[in-house]
Structure 1
């Protein structure tokens, strides 16, 4: 059934809606946990499956690319077939794909199963956000609900290292994917009991050509960027990027011509909406390119076990949870432009700390830097999401939620792909300059490709040569982390300026009164 929302007297949420919110937090927690534990498991799956550097990056970021590529499609599909129905179907598919990922026997198989996880994951996030928008009609309650929803993401990030570290201490790396199975079972059981169904009765048929254009555009551009980062400029890479740009232009033109577009470009006429989407994308892009390397650094360079790495990173995650709960209170006192830009500038010293990492004492720089970065992005993530979803009419919340999540997931995927590829290129260049000459060719190739390959080669060498290779790999990876941190810092400063300038007249409703820009 379609939900009718009164603009005169919004209906307060009942106990059922708040219990339903608890159910909606589950997939959010899972997706955050899934990303965290995979970064933690990267050294282990590298040693087992022996992927190339390109394959390892695809394993890490194909999930985000497929989510970003399919989010808009799934958001509009939910408007048409029902958001609860799409959420439950996606939960079932995610559970199945998680089992397949855990059983992967090669890098190629893991890439494929991660892609399937991404497609299934694309059904979850826009469904949860759009259901929240339709379950909580009072703006103050919706702000609280979105804060709780975002806190689920942060809690997933907090417990991910501990849970993943404990699993990796006693089980193979595939066990980290099985975490999604019990979570999805709970969602499948509780969802039909607590969640209402919402759909847009006026929505037309799903636009498959637009969906295909959207996915193809993103994957071709990213393929070209990754190819340039690894092998330099080439005809293949340039052609892929050009093809993606052309498809993107055709996609935009098609949306403007359709009476019921898959991607509603009219939403971007709202300055708060468009500025929030842009700032969210850039914030996560800057963060993820550096965050990708932290757990690898803790294990590969500093020699911590997975469990020790998880414990070390627990304080920053807990501080993020605390910061997320304070954002709505601060939003009552400060305009969003000031709060968001101040938070992003607070994250800047965190990137500086990453630039200074080096030596055994670096663990404290990593913890302090991660804490500042994580706390600093909280105002952007919570207020930005509220602005995006609150700017849309109730019948278009699926598309608005999908746009918000597309910005987040695309920012994460681009951060891993682009900044991660730059870091991989720096690592390879440094290794080629410092690699011990006595190294066998096969082991040399593995060591130059990834840090995991270097650590695997170390175990097959006599002590003097192993020590020389280990030092070279650690120094090269440290240099890669420094470069990624510089790039992230520049992007973060630019995002703070964008937020300060373009969100000045976009107040967030935190006290029950609408404060939207028209």
Structure 2
């Protein structure tokens, strides 16, 4: 597009910018939902007494369903109407959030989280598609997409603070009720400020492709969880092979379809593929790290949820600042080097935690999270820019969908890998003191939260012995998990130096 053609593009006015503010509401909510639940894990463990596997699934099932349906829901929105789908999804998300808040059991909470993933998948693709329709001028659209992307980091920063405040004054279910006041303005203002849009190409919805995505992701994640917890066995192998087979079938089908659900030809570009992988690896390490850091702050160091959220706030704020500050630097430094150097900060974060294990204090956690925020914030900005820059203009929407899917899949795998390793290590190292038996011993041997709850109900000496044993076992798991997270970041650095070396 020439400069003259760009000048002819209509520029957005106040209505469109206010429309962007409204579209940011579900973006911030989805991002906050990815981090806020970590702070409620101790209370959920004590209230619902889930097994270690159930605790992981309470976290896993939401981003798993969300990631599996993002591309599908984006396709449905193109045909049904993006604004209409956004309103339908917001309604479902609000109703299920209320049900999740009053879930009577771990099984009910897992089911509610799965339904939240279903409706959450309608929100993200719809907001980005509507945003692109609001801002026709390319320069304005770039700024709007940058603001939209910043909503993820902003929501991540809001989650710990809002979650900490709610858990300080209310019960664990209150974190789900946060969705109701956030989404209410959407129903009023969206029809006024944002016009409806559809894809002019009336292509049918390919339900088989949607099914193949889920059949690829569910057994893949399950195989990782099962292998980490029970070792590599026949069941894990069969699930992994099934995931690969369904993934191949999905790719083959997309190559044959006239209007594919996902344009797999985008992956032929090395910089594009590399940026997707770097996003995936960095989010795996980031979300997996939050899984044990939030528990460490509350259950080991004894901080209240509110104070624990404030400890993490500087790191999440630095993530936003790093994402914005890296833009002018990127004009003069190659992306491959810039991403690699940024991720070194994340390696330092996990390396410091791994060395200290269970002995890391509040200041150490805060400094580690700041390092993690610098690394992830700067790297994500560069890679997201590369994803859009290396995709044809006509396929920018598909490229954005892939970026979102990598983010959500990274959330799934972060808990599935690092969380499962931590849980398995805890179970392997916990030594239940004599005198603790039956259901108490079983609960204490499953999770740190269960051990803390049991210890609080035992006689003083026996409770202290159980608590010390649980903290020691958890610290051993933290060291192992941190080394694994550092290794994942190192792999992302290698990918950056190889796949992005020709990117400008």
Band of TM-score, shorter chain: over 0.9
| Distance in 1 of aligned mates of 2:388 and 2:50 | 39
Alignment of 1:89-104 (within 5 A): 89-104=88-103
Whether 1:471 and 2:465 are equivalent positions in the alignment is: no
* Distance in 1 of aligned mates of 2:192 and 2:334: 39
> Where do 1:365-376 residues align within 5 Å?
365-376=364-375
* Among candidates 454, 460, 468, match of residue 457 of structure 2: 460
* Structure 1 stretches lacking a partner, 5+ long: 1-5, 508-518
Report whether the alignment pairs 1:505 with 2:502: yes
Q: Which residue of 2 aligns with 1:213?
A: 212
2:213–2:250: 8 Å Cα contact kept in structure 1? yes
The answer (yes or no) to whether the contact 1:13–1:141 under 8 Å persists in 2 is yes
Report if aligned partners of 2:228, 2:420 keep a CA contact under 8 Å in 1. Answer: yes
Larger CA deviation: 262-271 vs 46-55: 262-271
Q: For 1:65-104, what per-residue CA distance to the aligned partner results, in whole angstroms no more than 9, with x for missing partners?
A: 0011101111222222232222222111111111111121
Give the counterpart of 1:487 among 474, 484, 503: 484
The residue number in structure 1 matching 2:418 is 419
The separation in 2 between residues aligned to 1:232 and 1:141, in whole angstroms, is 52
- Aligned CA distance change for structure 1 residues 233 and 503 (closer, same or farther; 3 Å): closer
SS in 2 for 1:303: coil
The 5 Å alignment of 1:230-379 reads: 230-358=229-357, 362-379=361-378
- The number of residue pairs the alignment matches comes to 501
Instruction: Write the distance in 1 (CA, Å) between the matches of 2:156 and 2:119.
Output: 20
The separation in 2 between residues aligned to 1:176 and 1:124, in whole angstroms, is: 19
Q: Does the CA contact (< 8 Å) of 2:357 and 2:476 recur in 1? A: no
Q: Which residue of 2 aligns with 1:65?
A: 64
Structure 1 distance, partners of 2:335, 2:468, is: 46
**Residue 446 (1) aligns with residue 443 (2):** yes
Deviations 1:380-401 (A, max 9, x none): 2223223324444555444322
Deviates more, 1:374-383 or 1:173-182: 374-383
Greater shift, 437-446 or 329-338, is seen at: 329-338
Alpha-carbon distance in 1 for matches of 2:230, 2:219: 16
RMSD value over aligned CA atoms?
Answer: 2.1
Between the aligned partners of 2:81 and 2:304, the Cα distance in structure 1 is 45
Contact 1:85 1:197 in 2 (8 A): yes
* d(CA) in 2 for partners of 1:149, 1:347: 24
Indicate how the Cα distance of structure 1 residues 312 and 402 shifts in structure 2: closer, same or farther if over 3 A, else same: same
Report Cα offsets for 1:189-227 as digits up to 9, x if no partner: 222222233322124111001101111221122122212
Asked if the contact 1:146/1:382 (under 8 Å) is kept, the reply is: no
Local SS of the residue matching 1:377: helix
Distance of 1:381 and 1:230 partners within structure 2 = 30
Match of 2:232, SS state, is coil
1-structure distance, mates of 2:186, 2:392: 27
Distance 1:391 1:8, change over 3 A: farther
Q: CA deviation at 1:337?
A: 2.5
Superposition TM-score, scaled by structure 2 size: 0.94
TM-superposed CA distance for 1:11, in Å, is 4.2
Q: 1:476 to 1:9 in 2, by over 3 A?
A: farther
Look up the match of 2:27: 28
Moved more, 404-413 or 495-504: 495-504
What is the CA-CA distance between 1:359 and the residue it aligns to? 6.0
TM value normalised by structure 1:
0.92
> 1:189 maps to what in 2?
188
Equivalent-residue separation in structure 1 for 2:378 and 2:131 (angstroms): 19
Query: How big is the shift at 1:430?
Result: 0.8
Match of 1:150 in 2: 149
Q: Judging changes above 3 Å, is the alpha-carbon distance between structure 1 residues 122 and 337 closer, same or farther for their aligned structure 2 residues?
A: same
Give the Cα separation in 2 of the matches to 1:80 and 1:394: 20
Alpha-carbon distance in 2 for matches of 1:278, 1:359:
31
Alignment of 1:160-171 (within 5 A): 160-171=159-170
Residues in 1 aligned to 2:353 and 2:139: alpha-carbon distance in whole angstroms: 37
State the SS of the aligned residue for 1:313.
helix
Of stretches 495-504 and 389-398 in structure 1, the one that deviates more from structure 2 is 389-398
1:37 maps to 36
More deviation, 383-392/112-121: 383-392
Tell me the SS of whatever aligns to 1:261. Answer: coil
Instruction: Name 1:198's counterpart in structure 2.
Output: 197
Correspondences of 1:87-166 after superposition (within 5 Å): 87-166=86-165
3-state secondary structure, aligned to 1:93: helix
Asked whether the equivalents of residues 358 and 478 of structure 2 are also in contact (C-alpha less than 8 Å), the reply is no
Contact 1:130 1:401 in 2 (8 A): no
Using the TM superposition, name which of 466-475 and 75-84 deviates more.
Answer: 75-84
